[in-house]
Structure 1
């Protein structure tokens, strides 16, 4: 095989292109073969504000004016890593939909303690293109204990079979730090707040803040942007816990208490109510309760709970709620009653109960879903793992499909099987999808993943259905050992594990999300 030496003009061109590639200050005029020179926008360090709200140190704001209307794409190049499946690192790029000549844009996905390469591409309405390359220097993450979390987080990638172009980031709710498939932290929030609950369609986060905190109950919650700005905050009179969701019309669905929480075990029920809080755009510390659902009146507070925490006042332990726009309903999970239930949003009427039938009185018999197989035949489930125990993370998927995280604590208690101690290895947790037929009042299991019953988290857990068709599972409690908090991404068609990682091994977590940094833009 002949190898041609590079010399003369070709050598000069190779040296020029290498110079363009390695330059880490403002870059302009480095065009590819046949493309001619790419003009510069004239950007420099004055166009970048790193961490503009002093709460998101791996984010920046880009501001500039262009000579004509057009669109902008920003790209943060990956950080090379020999230990990652993607040696070049994970590139994060986004083309903004906005057409303008004056831009104020977020730049997300920076690495800490690194000279990050930002490429800004502009395409004008005339077809003209311009490009600049900038370097953004970030500081190391200062070690600190923030609430229940140690920062910076320590990520262990146990297996990774994701495609190289998967730039999604994983976020544990209390760590409030996002890491990529290489285990590199690419975003974090260091403002006030205990934990996140969910990312909204506009790309903002809903999270509790530390004002008036009693254990894991909080007197206020806020909406935060990815740049770390607090958009608005709302008080919750009887304190919030476990759940905040934004309803399609902009109000908030919040899990709270029917009385002011005190953990005094004085006969006052707790963690037993949902409220709707009216949104007040642009206002701080406002918002009225305009609707409520008291589960002391909807379900049966006299039914024996699973003895997971031996607190009689916490008979329900409402821990998730999701609104279903298809029929104007709300679906919840309740740990201590080991159930998923559906109620009518408008009336609060109970529609169905997905859970063990034992212990329910005559008034609830017609609300209990009957377990069936794929052919519709009723199942004898006394020796099967059909019902959830201590569940979390209600999820509605449409056309009667629902999913939840089944913790498995005290599995089999209601069916009079010998209850398992929470720390025995026979206990296991799983993600599970059911199909509910409301006309026939039946339910069947259509998918589950329990990792061969290898992992158990007695409290907390999460499940999400991702846009790529995979399930995301959060084995995030620490009982019985320090093998969590763990995130897994699973292909439901094969149950192959595409991603498996532990972050801050041994620390308790609540939920986990997989996010696109530029959601909403």
Structure 2
């Protein structure tokens, strides 16, 4: 039977190729047949080729073409300017999706370098950026404007002989969207916060499904995107952003993975169709969100994505690596091939309206390049584990031994901490480089403390916490080195979502995303040595379902503030 399926699938795929562009309708019907009649590797586990066929990402050039056209217009405007700071062209929201950004086009008679100052309400909310390259044609990107006010931006031009010229420009912005909700500052000690050089690191509230925005040290909105974003908001090695958004505003699902920047320029976009069989009727196809919680960049710049693989039965238990340039799927990791069969065939922890089984619910991952290991977090198994990325062989498991088959207990890390409390429903697993050396890994994560499958204690659901553990891979041990959240109690317990990231200066930023049963999100920066809270913002009055999935501290200007108007993106 397996041989028959392999031959059948091969013949059908060959027909698709041979048919060419003129047989689109026939190919569409063939694809529908292949989606409805899934090809399995073994019972409950789809074949790798079937998963690739189900997902089929494609590069879209629609938005790159549109923003390239805008860029070409600015390049032409700059070329036509008369030299002199008084003749500058000032643009607010230059790429039409980032209302608190701007662009200043200006020519100088002599080559100058530039210092950019975006004036804030306080010294610690005044943002600065140095552009050290000497030039006469300047396209200066401005980030960190306030909403609903006339902002002051000063450029300091310095010639090679040290002579300085100053020019101050104004930029008027509109109101921030009401969907953001209300952000109430509870605590702020800017001198103790990790704000970075030029104070241009903001606290970004990453949306579950809505508006993602950035706050300064006083809790004021200094950036947001009008693109609706779901879960994924990451910085790439080239300092661009990777976001998960909608293919079009009218779409219900988030099936566009976009490489963009804080100004809204689009460099690349991958679209996913997401039509999968329903659980109730395998002959019926419905559109699903393909990428659900996370996406990371690998050292080769390919993207590793958490996906639904198109199964009619299981969700959120597969990863795919796609080629950065072509969108081709080059690797599939199905967790049903790695973890115990009983974990997915006997799972009863949660229910979904569509009837599909969310037995693992992968919500984050981090790649360790030195060891070629991938560390994965799954909420519904209360489990963090590591695999060799090349072979996908298990290395270790951090979880309570409850309901774990005997064969898998050899991978369990043994606690050295007395009365060790295992993670429950955890999120946002990440490696701390400063605490990782040799066989020891410094691992941070957000512990929701809500056991779904294993590890229930009397302390469960009493609080949630940011946690750091030290893992000795050689000795197969785990030691808890820091935890914060217990003192905040039930008020900051979060059944779902959340994050905890070290941000510098011995501080950790914790996102209590689903506090008060989803009515609040709270962002708390705490010093790990003193446990003093140095920043605390409470978010309320937002739309149900748009709680803050993660809180991230990110620099607005990771590279240069110059906008390269000569760069035209082709894909």
CA gap 1:124/1:196 in 2 versus in 1, 3 angstroms:
farther
Kept in 1, the 8 Å contact 2:515–2:522? The answer is no
Paired residue for 2:513?
476
Paired residue for 2:399?
355
Paired residue for 2:557?
518
Q: Pairwise mapping of residues 38-187 of structure 1 onto structure 2 (< 5 A)?
A: 42-44=84-86, 46-79=88-121, 86=122, 90-141=125-176, 143=177, 150-151=179-180, 153-163=181-191, 166=195, 167=199, 168-174=201-207, 175-187=211-223
Paired residue for 1:188?
224
Considering only aligned residues, what root-mean-square deviation do their CA atoms show, in Å?
2.7
3-state DSSP class of the match of 2:184? Answer: strand
Deviation at 1:136, TM superposition (A): 1.6
Query: With CA pairs under 8 Å and 6+ residues apart, which has the higher RCO, 1 or 2?
Result: 2
Paired residue for 1:504?
540
Kept in 2, the 8 Å contact 1:213–1:219? The answer is no
Kept in 2, the 8 Å contact 1:197–1:511? The answer is no
Deviation at 1:178, TM superposition (A): 1.2
Give the Cα separation in 2 of the matches to 1:418 and 1:429. 14
Give the Cα separation in 2 of the matches to 1:189 and 1:203. 17
Aligned with residue 234 of structure 1, among 263, 270, 276: 270
Give the Cα separation in 2 of the matches to 1:96 and 1:477. 40
Kept in 2, the 8 Å contact 1:74–1:120? The answer is yes
Aligned with residue 291 of structure 1, among 321, 325, 331: 331
1:275-294 CA-to-partner distances (Å, cap 9, x unmatched) read: 111112xxxxx511111211
Deviation at 1:112, TM superposition (A): 1.8
CA gap 1:232/1:359 in 2 versus in 1, 3 angstroms:
same
Paired residue for 1:391?
426
Kept in 2, the 8 Å contact 1:305–1:336? The answer is no
Kept in 2, the 8 Å contact 1:217–1:240? The answer is no
Paired residue for 1:250?
301
CA gap 1:290/1:132 in 2 versus in 1, 3 angstroms:
same
1:344-401 CA-to-partner distances (Å, cap 9, x unmatched) read: 111111111011112222331221111113xxxxx5x4xx5x2100010011112311
Give the Cα separation in 1 of the matches to 2:407 and 2:515. 38
Kept in 1, the 8 Å contact 2:146–2:173? The answer is yes
Deviation at 1:472, TM superposition (A): 0.7
Paired residue for 1:20?
none
Give the Cα separation in 2 of the matches to 1:468 and 1:244. 27
1:39-62 CA-to-partner distances (Å, cap 9, x unmatched) read: xx8324742221111111111112
3-state DSSP class of the match of 2:327? Answer: coil
Paired residue for 2:443?
402
3-state DSSP class of the match of 2:360? Answer: coil
Give the Cα separation in 1 of the matches to 2:477 and 2:190. 36
Paired residue for 2:478?
443
Kept in 2, the 8 Å contact 1:58–1:108? The answer is yes
Deviation at 1:246, TM superposition (A): 1.7
Give the Cα separation in 2 of the matches to 1:465 and 1:209. 27
Uncovered stretches (5+) of structure 2, i.e. residues with no partner:
1-82, 275-289, 561-571
Give the Cα separation in 1 of the matches to 2:268 and 2:402. 44
CA gap 1:415/1:335 in 2 versus in 1, 3 angstroms:
closer
Kept in 2, the 8 Å contact 1:92–1:109? The answer is yes
Aligned residues: 441
Kept in 2, the 8 Å contact 1:72–1:120? The answer is yes
Which range moves more in the overlay, 220-229 or 472-481?
472-481
CA gap 1:106/1:209 in 2 versus in 1, 3 angstroms:
same
3-state DSSP class of the match of 1:366? Answer: helix
Give the Cα separation in 2 of the matches to 1:451 and 1:342. 27
Q: Which is richer in helix?
A: 2
Deviation at 1:237, TM superposition (A): 5.8
Give the Cα separation in 2 of the matches to 1:336 and 1:514. 27
Deviation at 1:97, TM superposition (A): 4.1
Give the Cα separation in 2 of the matches to 1:170 and 1:224. 19
Kept in 1, the 8 Å contact 2:307–2:320? The answer is yes
Deviation at 1:209, TM superposition (A): 1.6
Deviation at 1:201, TM superposition (A): 4.5
Uncovered stretches (5+) of structure 1, i.e. residues with no partner:
1-40, 80-85, 145-149, 261-265, 281-285, 374-378, 421-425
Deviation at 1:115, TM superposition (A): 1.8
Deviation at 1:212, TM superposition (A): 8.6
1:203-222 CA-to-partner distances (Å, cap 9, x unmatched) read: 43221122399999632211
Kept in 1, the 8 Å contact 2:232–2:293? The answer is no
3-state DSSP class of the match of 1:520? Answer: coil
Give the Cα separation in 2 of the matches to 1:387 and 1:346. 28
- Whether 1:461 and 2:481 are equivalent positions in the alignment is no
Kept in 2, the 8 Å contact 1:490–1:496? The answer is yes
Give the Cα separation in 2 of the matches to 1:319 and 1:271. 8
3-state DSSP class of the match of 1:302? Answer: helix
Paired residue for 2:67?
none
Deviation at 1:195, TM superposition (A): 4.7
Deviation at 1:434, TM superposition (A): 0.7
